[in-house]
Amino acid sequence: MAEKSMFFRSFGDRRYYSSDWAKYFSTLIKGGIFGEQLDSLEVTAAGDSMNSTVKSGRAFIEGYFYENDSDLELTHEAADPVNDRIDRVVLRLDLNDENRYIKAFVRKGEVNVNPVPPEPVREGNIHEISLAQVRVRAASGIILADDITDERDNEAICGYVRYQAKPAWYPKGAVPLDAWLYVHFPDQLTPQEKADIEDNPLLMNIINGDTFYTHKKMFDKSVYTILQNRIQLVALSDLGVIGNFYAYGNRLLITTGSSFSIIDISDLSNINALYTGALPISPSSIARVGDYFYIVHSRYKSSGTEGVLVELYQFPINGGVATLIGSFYSYEIANDNYKPISPVICSDGQYLYILGGHYYDGSSDSYYKRLWRYNLSNDTASTLYSQTNSTSTVGDKYLWYDKATHSINYNRDGIQKYNYNISSGTHSSGWSEPLNNYINRDAGDNHILYIEDYASSGNGFVRITNKDTGQSVTTTYIPYSKGLKYNTSHKMILICSQSAIFGLLAEF
């Protein structure tokens, strides 16, 4: 197939045709009616004759322009004495040499007990778009306004002129741009455009159906907008405050209270909730091994054997039912003044590591910390390390496994940093990095990232650093960060805040 390009200055060696111009424009502009120009080619009837009237307006068909600047009357053939028929008022593009025009015509329908309109012709040199159906009632000598069915908003046979080339954020598949804008960018539409969309049942079926959200409408919007080198992926205003966040591949697990949502971000312009559901607890931390998530929480158990209890649940990554697989005491005591400290969890792919503890309410020096290792092969827990009277227990949030040193690392809000070497059984503290918010590094992760708040010219910023390479990137301040994850396929850092998930474009 030969290459072709146009349009260039001619020195007698370049010849272009009207069809070249039409082809050029048809690649840029989708054919149909120009909305809100003149009277938009509305079809009406006065109710006193067999005429219908095409009002003024403009259209664009296969790269060719049409304009009608005044009322145009079309005459329908006489009615059948017994049965109805349905005509169509069409604009016909005719490229045959003897014609070469766009004109309005009446396409006569077949008389029938149950009449149907004729299909618009779209073959060879003929291309029709339908403006309206007109029902010609049996034995009637007039056409009423109620006999006319407007078809200008039917995308299959007419529709409105739109920009044809799809921008990067345009939804994949056959999602009309009007529907996409209505859901994701309503502020960019005029009141009339919104009203036109809402009056279009085909578009509203798409908007209210499963095209945008696989199971239910969870989000006010899923915005793919770059905001000072970060992308707001999901605004979770309908879900409330985010409790926990876990990212794996192109999926996100988000918990709010005891509810969870698993979100697909493989297509950033069409973010879907794959699964939603309820958990038996409000998890304080999440890890993943294979096809399962593991979530933990801690509570004071007031019945049976009383004390501060840590509970471990397992549930499938496809959104199944959570099952309690383990529970163990931080402290067995019948005294509810002992309060649980929210446990955190990570994994090395074979074992789960859980850091938890308790404290005595009202005392500043009565704290207890314990690091458990949970064996998934036999569902048993053993204590690796424990410490009493440790004020660093308060606020332990981030726990991760470091494969290089075969150790467990954790921190308390960037103030106290600790390491437990599993091989030697030794515990140490005093990391040198500004470790405000370390990522959970489970088995298979290739990056350890940490987040650091700092000020520049009086403004709040965040620096994110790859501990393995020392590479850093910065973004505007994101408050209440819940965690980080590097997404390889999109080359961006996922950051979960209290009310949204952002993607920071970066190559690590």
pLDDT band at 136 (very low <50, low <70, confident <90, very high): very high
Give pLDDT, residue 194: 83
CA triplet 262, 478, 235: central angle to 5 degrees?
A: 40
Report the percentage of the chain scoring pLDDT > 70.
Answer: 69
Give pLDDT, residue 215: 24
417: pLDDT strictly greater than 90: no
Give pLDDT, residue 334: 80
Give pLDDT, residue 491: 67
Lowest mean pLDDT across 80-94, 146-160, 481-495:
481-495
| CATH 1.20.1740.10, domain 283-442, yes or no | no
pLDDT band at 217 (very low <50, low <70, confident <90, very high): very low
400-406 LR contacts (CB < 8 Å, sep 24+) = 400/346, 400/438, 400/439, 400/440, 400/441, 400/442, 400/448, 401/346, 401/347, 401/348, 401/353, 401/441, 401/442, 401/443, 402/441, 402/448, 403/348, 403/443
Q: Is the peptide bond before 315 cis (omega within 30 degrees of 0)?
A: no
Domain regions of the chain by residue span: 18-163, 213-278+446-508, 283-442
Give pLDDT, residue 285: 85
Give pLDDT, residue 362: 59
Distance (Å, whole) CA 322 – CA 294: 9
18-163, CATH topology level? Triple-stranded beta-helix (2.60.520)
pLDDT band at 438 (very low <50, low <70, confident <90, very high): very low
Comparing 199 with 220, the larger pLDDT belongs to: 199
Comparing 368 with 80, the larger pLDDT belongs to: 80
pLDDT band at 494 (very low <50, low <70, confident <90, very high): confident
Comparing 68 with 189, the larger pLDDT belongs to: 68
Comparing 161 with 226, the larger pLDDT belongs to: 161
Give pLDDT, residue 55: 95
7: pLDDT strictly greater than 60: yes
For residues 106 and 99, the answer to whether their CB atoms sit within 8 Å is no
Structure token pair of residue 67? 């304009």
Give pLDDT, residue 227: 31
pLDDT band at 159 (very low <50, low <70, confident <90, very high): confident
Lowest mean pLDDT across 54-58, 192-196, 365-369, 423-427:
365-369
1: pLDDT strictly greater than 70: no
Lowest mean pLDDT across 245-254, 312-321, 330-339, 469-478:
469-478
Give pLDDT, residue 102: 97
Reduced DSSP (H G I as helix, E B as strand, rest coil) percent helix, strand, coil of the chain, to 5: 10, 45, 45
Distance (Å, whole) CA 151 – CA 90: 10
Tally of residues, the chain: 508
Listing DSSP states for 253-317 in one string gives EEEETTEEEEEE-SSTTS-EEEEEEE-SS--SEEEEETTEEEEEEEEEE-SSS-EEEEEEEEEET
Lowest mean pLDDT across 152-156, 295-299, 335-339, 426-430:
426-430
Write down the pTM of the prediction. 0.52
271: pLDDT strictly greater than 80: no
Structure token pair of residue 507? 């190559």
Give pLDDT, residue 160: 86
Give pLDDT, residue 379: 83
pLDDT band at 373 (very low <50, low <70, confident <90, very high): very high
**Paired strand residues for 226:** 231
Give pLDDT, residue 218: 27
pLDDT digits (tens, 9 = 90+) for 171-180: 444 456 677 6
